[in-house]
Amino acid sequence: MADKAHPTSISSKSKKSPAMLAKLRALGIPKAIAETFPLTPHDTTRRWCKKLPTPHGPKVFYFGPLADWQAALTRFNDEKEALVAGRTPSARKDGMRLIDLCNRFLHFKRALVSTGELTMRSWSDYHQCCERLMKVLGANKSAEDMQQQDFERLRLDFGKTWGPVRIGGEINRTRILFRYAFESGLIEKPVRFGPSFKRPSRKELRKVRAKTRQAHGARMFTPEELRVILDAAKQPMKTMILLGINGGMNNSDVATITTDTIDLERGLAHFPRPKTGVPRTIPLWPETLASIKEYLAIRPKPKDAADGILLFLTGHRRPWYRHGRFVEEDGATVIKGIDNPVSRSFRSLLVSLGINGGRNFLALRHTFRTVGRGARDREAIDALMGHVDGSMAGHYIEDGLPDDRLRAVTQFVRTWLFTVETPKLKIADEVA
């Protein structure tokens, strides 16, 4: 009768598969006990667990680390009646620990990486966020017991090493983590973050940008600097730089652009922006087309046939981007191999020329956008840069802009760049 009242009781009649028995024996459980051992090893969290029926439906409970099966069994026997009845045992203070929540969340995000819905770099950011959270608050802290003061403490710790922009990203990732916990039923109620655990305001971010600009100058290049850079750059970096200033391409764009997107006869690049998927048509300058043809004449054969469609290949015949790979180390999953060869090579070029000021390859995109305002066609600039038009009007537009409007913008930037005596630009206010 006791077995019927408590389906979790240890029963000598329960049978386990040979694989499970072998696994239990490997974890140190004697053969005589393994057959009736009621707990299951949870490999991800390295703890013993058991799914028990509760008044609110079946729920998985954890009873201790795999390294101590005796203590886990004792705890299970002491707590099973209260758990099945829907009561919280007085000795049970862990609940959903932060380490358990982080493991569940990271496995969920890892599945999105496998389907292409999330990049490995983004997964790595979530991983670092979880590590910081556990370091500051403790891996064994109950996720359900998180209070306002915990997030205040976390926010203060962020400020010790990061600026407002990075802090905003970490706060957003932390909120996503706990929203996942509630929506997945891992915690019973939403956590209260408190008024201080919010992303920095736009005003604060403007102040930071103003301070950075005052210290390093505008995040753009002068035409004189760009001409020096282009004269010193070798292939394929020279062509990458021209694409960056010709159409506002960033380092990810030039690293992933494919040969079939370049129309050499018409002088156009039909290349969707990887970040947003927005289609773009970029009229190419004669200088850009000539540089592309020059590079294609010396372009190496790809080491992997699958990379043959890429326009640019490194000297090792590899892509100019490194997405990374998952690696298991000491029972934890990390990503290795993430790299940005375009940014690194461009930085080396700037250093060799004595051009610095905190600028990088993305500063070419800033330069294109800033100078392009002089063409007085904001819609064309947004189309060239692949910006999303989230307005109601944008919902009804079914085609792209005429090539002549796009060429007017790119030609304006070309004149600015290659005119040796550059007049001062009078940039009109943008159309609201």
The pLDDT-based confidence of 95 (bands split at 50, 70, 90) is low
d(C-alpha 71, C-alpha 30), whole Å: 15
Q: Which residues contact residue 92 at a Cβ distance below 8 angstroms, ignoring those fewer than 6 apart?
A: 79
List the chain domain ranges.
Answer: 16-84, 99-216, 223-388+403-418
The pLDDT-based confidence of 325 (bands split at 50, 70, 90) is confident
Q: What pLDDT shows up at residue 73?
A: 93
Q: For the whole model, what pTM was predicted?
A: 0.68
Residues 269, 406: contact at Cβ < 8 Å? Answer: no
Nearest to 283 by CA among 254, 260, 263: 263
347 by Cβ neighbours in 10 Å (0-12 / 13-18 / 19+) ranks as middle
Q: What pLDDT shows up at residue 322?
A: 83
Nearest to 355 by CA among 268, 228, 248: 228
d(C-alpha 399, C-alpha 379), whole Å: 13
d(C-alpha 57, C-alpha 273), whole Å: 46
d(C-alpha 416, C-alpha 424), whole Å: 10
d(C-alpha 251, C-alpha 299), whole Å: 19
Q: What pLDDT shows up at residue 374?
A: 94
Domain topology for 99-216: DNA polymerase; domain 1 (1.10.150)
Question: DSSP assignment, residue 300?
Answer: P
Q: Hey, what's the torsion of the CAs at 355, 357, 363, 369, to 10 degrees? A: -110
d(C-alpha 270, C-alpha 431), whole Å: 26
224 by Cβ neighbours in 10 Å (0-12 / 13-18 / 19+) ranks as exposed
- Please compute the mean of the pLDDT values over residues 140-164 and round it to a whole number: 91
Q: E-assigned strands of 154-296? A: 262-263, 268-270, 281-283
Q: What pLDDT shows up at residue 142?
A: 86
CB atoms within 10 A of CB 66: 16
pLDDT per position as a tens digit, 47-62: 899 999 988 788 888 8
pLDDT per position as a tens digit, 411-427: 999 999 999 765 555 54
Is pLDDT of 117 > 70?
yes
pLDDT per position as a tens digit, 7-29: 333 343 457 899 999 999 999 99
Nearest to 374 by CA among 418, 411, 419: 411
5-19, 78-92, 123-137, 301-315: range with lowest mean pLDDT: 5-19
For residue 18, whether the previous peptide bond is cis, meaning omega lies within 30 degrees of 0, is no
- Please compute the mean of the pLDDT values over residues 257-263 and round it to a whole number: 95
- At 329, which helix (H) or strand (E)? strand 325-329
- Please compute the mean of the pLDDT values over residues 204-215 and round it to a whole number: 76
Question: DSSP assignment, residue 126?
Answer: H
Per DSSP bridges, beta strands 332-336 and 262-263 are unpaired
Q: What pLDDT shows up at residue 88?
A: 67
Residue 292 in tokens? 């592309």
Q: What is the CATH number of domain 223-388+403-418?
A: 1.10.443.10
Q: Give, in order, the Cα–Cα distances in Å from 197 to each of 36, 50, 73, 185, 240.
A: 48, 35, 40, 23, 40
5-9, 94-98, 213-217: range with lowest mean pLDDT: 5-9
Q: Which residue has the tokens 């129309």?
A: 263
